[in-house]
Copies of this chain bind each other. A is one copy, B any other.
């Protein structure tokens, strides 16, 4: 038998356009409710999986979208009433089995959003569910959410990411509680304060203190301007899980 002939370096397939692929985006909006990481879902109003809760998503529209990111921003604006969240590309999920309509590819994005924004009157009929207790989800949306949560946990070890879950101003104990909720583990107060110094992303709100409550007033902090749309990253993690 002759040895198999190696394929040429540039097979003829490079000429032929491939069969169509269904191209969509899906968005994982994560938020904190009752110190629990929750994900925003929408009820699907048509087939496939009509009536099921699923991630907000939709087709890429080559006529109007400048990129997959653009498609995700449009979907969020139109279906969830969210004009401008911090949207990060998560990963692309693809294959013949994930969508009953055919071979599909979905570019998934992830955003951390304060719960108050998701409840805003402009926001669409989003439904929040704890990531630890998800309902049965269509497509591979469970895997997409799992990937998003894992990414957010890893990244929160080293960055300012969880601050996007806070409101405009917050106390340091509030922020620490947010980190702990995202990481799913307690964080040492001293190393947390050191980490916040190192990230250099916060500034005190001049003259603003919390009022009321049983505790003495605490300083309010906010994100510094340069970090409103850009993560602050640190060399070292918070040491959780290490």
Contact = CB atoms under 8 A, between A and B. Distances in A.
A60 interface: yes
Contact of A237 (B59, B102, B235): B235
28 contacts: A9-B45, A10-B42, A10-B45, A10-B46, A13-B58, A13-B61, A14-B45, A14-B46, A14-B58, A15-B46, A18-B23, A18-B60, A19-B62, A21-B23, A21-B60, A60-B94, A62-B102, A62-B103, A66-B96, A67-B95, A68-B92, A68-B94, A89-B92, A92-B92, A92-B107, A235-B236, A235-B237, A236-B242
Interface in A196-226: none
Interface string A81-92: 100000001011
B235 A63 contact: no
Interface in A1-41: 6-7, 9-11, 13-23
Given A89-B92, A105-B60, A239-B235, A78 B23 contact: no
Given A7-B79, A18-B61, 16 more contacts: A10-B44, A10-B45, A10-B46, A11-B79, A13-B58, A14-B58, A14-B59, A60-B94, A67-B94, A68-B105, A89-B91, A89-B92, A94-B107, A105-B105, A235-B236, A235-B239
A241 B235 CA distance: 8
A125 B62 contact: no
Task: Tell me how many chains of this kind the complex includes.
Answer: 2
A9 B69 CA distance: 19
A73 to B, nearest CB: 13
A124 interface: yes
Contacts of A67: 94-95
Interface centre among A6, A23, A122 (most CB of B within 10 A): A23
A13 B46 CA distance: 11
Contacts of A102: 62
